[in-house]
Amino acid sequence: MDSVDRSSEPKYECLLFDMDDTLYSLSSGLNLACRKNIEEYMLQNLGINENEVPKMCLDLYKEYGTTMAGLKALGYEFDNDEFHQYIHGRLPYEKLKPDPFLRSLLLSMPQRKIIFTNADKAHVANVLARLGLEDCFEGVICFETLNPPVEFTEENSYGFEFLTSDIQVEPKRLSSLVDENFDICESSKISLPKLPILCKPSVEAFEAAIQIANVNPKKTIFFDDSARNIAAAKTAGLHTVLVGGLVVVQGADVALTSIHNMREALPEIWLSEEEKEEEQAELLYPATPIETFVLA
Output phi, psi for 204, to 5 deg: -60, -40
Q: How many Å apart are CA 87 and CA 13, to the nearest integer?
A: 35
Identified binder of Mg ion from the candidate list 16, 17, 20, 133, rule CB under 5 A: 20
Identified binder of Mg ion from the candidate list 14, 15, 16, 21, rule CB under 5 A: 21
256 interacts with Mg ion by CB under 5 A = no
Nearer to Mg ion by Cβ, of 48 and 84: the residue is 84
Q: How many Å apart are CA 5 and CA 3, to the nearest integer?
A: 6
39 interacts with Mg ion by CB under 5 A = no
Nearer to Mg ion by Cβ, of 207 and 225: the residue is 225
**Cα-Cα end-to-end distance for the chain:** 59
242 interacts with Mg ion by CB under 5 A = no
204 interacts with Mg ion by CB under 5 A = no
Nearer to Mg ion by Cβ, of 25 and 165: the residue is 25
CB atoms within 10 A of CB 139: 20
DSSP state of 50: T
Segment contacting Mg ion by CB under 5 A, of 61-69, 148-156, 218-226, 249-257 = 218-226
Identified binder of Mg ion from the candidate list 225, 231, 232, 259, rule CB under 5 A: 225
Between the alpha carbon of residue 93 and those of residues 28, 89, 130, 148, 191, the distances in Å are 9, 9, 7, 27, 42
Contact 21, 225 (CB under 8 A): yes
120 interacts with Mg ion by CB under 5 A = no
Nearer to Mg ion by Cβ, of 18 and 144: the residue is 18
**Residues at the contact surface with Mg ion, assessed by CB under 5 A:** 18, 20-22, 225
